[in-house]
Amino acid sequence: MNSLTEENYLKALFNIANIAGEVNVTELSKNLDLKMPTVTSMVKKLAEKKLVHYESYKPLRLTEKGKREAGLIIRKHRLTEMFLVDKMKLGWEDVHDIAEQIEHIKSPVFFEKMDELLGYPKVDPHGSPIPDKNGKVVWKDYNKLSDCNAGETVKLAAVINTSSEFLKFLNAREMHLGLRIKIKAIEPFDKSIVINYGKRHAETLSNVACERLLVEKEG
């Protein structure tokens, strides 16, 4: 059985690899806010447990066992976030820290019941896929809003950055998953985008914000 610290390492490796493709010890230490020798020591321990492929000066890779373990931790985290939003009516900006604590509970039946009560959701409140009972993740091919063109109509499907600050930013603009967005114009200078949705007819989003929003194109 893995410790809480080991689970946090596995989850970090999984998430960094998903975004950057490759992970090295430097990136992992920055992500976890830990010193390099501490991280190297733990990575070696994970390698001994056959959870990580580790060679000096080469990218870190989760083994198949490591991917499964990481996927199951993320499953617990995302199911918890969904439960907190759907059943307890907490805001999507308030659930991450709570889920960080609950994800380390070792009772499979607890999360199986949670999944059942939710109706077996495929995504969490931020649109991220929930891994299945084997830790496997099915990724959908979304577009960043920043990569879309003027005149297109899209649906907000997921949020890349789920910090409380960014989610509150979206709340203030009445933006939520499933929102139908019409791209009105793109500013050539800074790539900010003017959009229409709901009762808002000329909302301007910076390129930084648009990079963090994943959408599905219509038609």
Q: pLDDT per residue over 165-190, tens digit each?
A: 999 999 999 999 999 999 999 999 99
Q: Mean pLDDT across the stretch 48-62?
A: 91
The two tokens of residue 86 are 């759907």
Q: Are 44 and 8 in contact (CB under 8 A)?
A: no
Q: Are 123 and 162 in contact (CB under 8 A)?
A: no
Closest CA to 156 of 127, 189, 186, 184: 127
Separation in Å, CA 177 to CA 63, 156, 159? 33, 5, 8
The two tokens of residue 197 are 């949705």
Residue 78's Cβ-side half-sphere holds a number of Cα atoms within 13 Å equal to 24
The two tokens of residue 73 are 């931790």
Q: What is the pLDDT of residues 141-160, one digit of tens each?
A: 899 999 999 999 999 999 99
Rounded to the nearest 5°, which phi and psi values hold at 132?
-80, -175
Q: How confident is the model at residue 140 (pLDDT cuts 50, 70, 90)?
A: confident
Question: What pLDDT does residue 139 have?
Answer: 85
Which residues share a beta bridge with 158?
Answer: 214
pLDDT(64) > 80: yes
Which residues share a beta bridge with 196?
Answer: 182
Q: Domains plus CATH for the chain?
A: 4-62 (1.10.10.10), 143-217 (2.30.30.90)
The DSSP 8-state label assigned to residue 199 in this structure reads T
The DSSP H or E segment spanning 196 is strand 193-197
Assign 156 to helix, strand or coil.
strand
Sequence-ordered list of residues with C-beta below 8 angstroms from that of 71, at least 6 positions apart, any chain: 14, 131, 134, 135, 136, 137
